[in-house]
Structure 1
Amino acid sequence: IGPPGVGKTHLAIGIGHKAVEAGYRVLFRNALDLVEELELAEMKGELKKKISQLAKHDLLIIDELGYLPMTRQARYNLFQLINSLYEYRSIILTTNKDFTCWGEFFHDDNVAVPIIDRIIHHSHIFMLGGESYRLKQKTAG
């Protein structure tokens, strides 16, 4: 969790690479792309199949969760995915939103609270701060 440009994605990818080197199956998805994949599968009546495919990975990295609002169906689909992976697979989420703001981008505390509950139950939360590396590079160059 942290503001844009502080290295959340970089850190998640690094952990993913180490997991692959250790023999784990890892999948990296931008949150928007993942939500669209789930919505398409749901429209085809294949949501359970898609979730089963995603659950074949030992680690799912979901990048940039909360940058854009989600439809009600997208929120439901994401909940179904996280609920299915909970207890059985590892998830890395990157977001610029503190948990207290998740009700805003989910537009529904009834969905946000159970997702947060499942995510934090067995988690290590890294709160990153500082200046954006991109802005530092821009002003230094």
Structure 2
Amino acid sequence: AAHDQHGGLDKELRRLRRYKLLIIDELGYIPFDADAANLFFQLVASRYEQGSLLITSNLAFSRWGEIFADDVVAAAMIDRLVHHAEVISLDGDSYRTRTRRELLETNTTKKL
């Protein structure tokens, strides 16, 4: 919405820079169209070396071109994100999957 207003995008980016940390969860769950990818890149670029971002995604960086429908935009964004980053890769079952499996195993054991 800020993008549609005259000067609204700059105002919104300034507002978001005030926060010490922005958390973006599940990046890539829904792909971005070209306009959304451009806006998200502007957000990342505006916070570059200005504020912290915590981003979660179930996609490897090599697949971020799929999220943003543009490998060049994805590469530029990744470049800014990893410059001062701590990248943590988690392997294994998700907490939700593990909890559900344990619940099913417990219910099966009770029935026997």
TM-score range, shorter chain: 0.7 to 0.9
Deviations 1:12-68 (A, max 9, x none): xxxxxxxxxxxxxxxxxxxxxxxxxxxx11022311111111100011111111111
User: Which amino acid in the other structure matches residue 55 of structure 2?
Assistant: L
1:109 correspondence with 2:64:
no
* Alpha-carbon separation, structure 1, partners of 2:43 and 2:2: 12
| Secondary structure of the corresponding residue to residue 60 of structure 1 | strand
Q: 1:97 aligns with which of 59, 62, 68?
A: 59
Distance 1:59 1:100 in 2: 25
More strand by share: 1
Aligned with 1:121 (options 73, 80, 83): 83
2:43 is matched with which residue: 81, 87, 90? 81
Return the alpha-carbon distance in structure 2 between the equivalents of residues 133 and 117 of structure 1. 30
After TM superposition, give the deviation of residue 111 of structure 1 in Å.
0.7
Higher relative contact order (CA 8 A, sep 6+): 1
2:5 to 17, 40, 44: 44
Alpha-carbon separation, structure 2, partners of 1:66 and 1:138? 24
TM-score, structure 1 as length reference: 0.69
Moved over 4 A (4+): none
- Deviation sequence 1:77-129 (CA, Å, 0-9, x none): 11111101001111111000100001111110121111000000000000001
Counterpart of 2:31 in structure 1: which amino acid?
A: P
Larger Rg: 2
Alignment size in residue pairs: 102
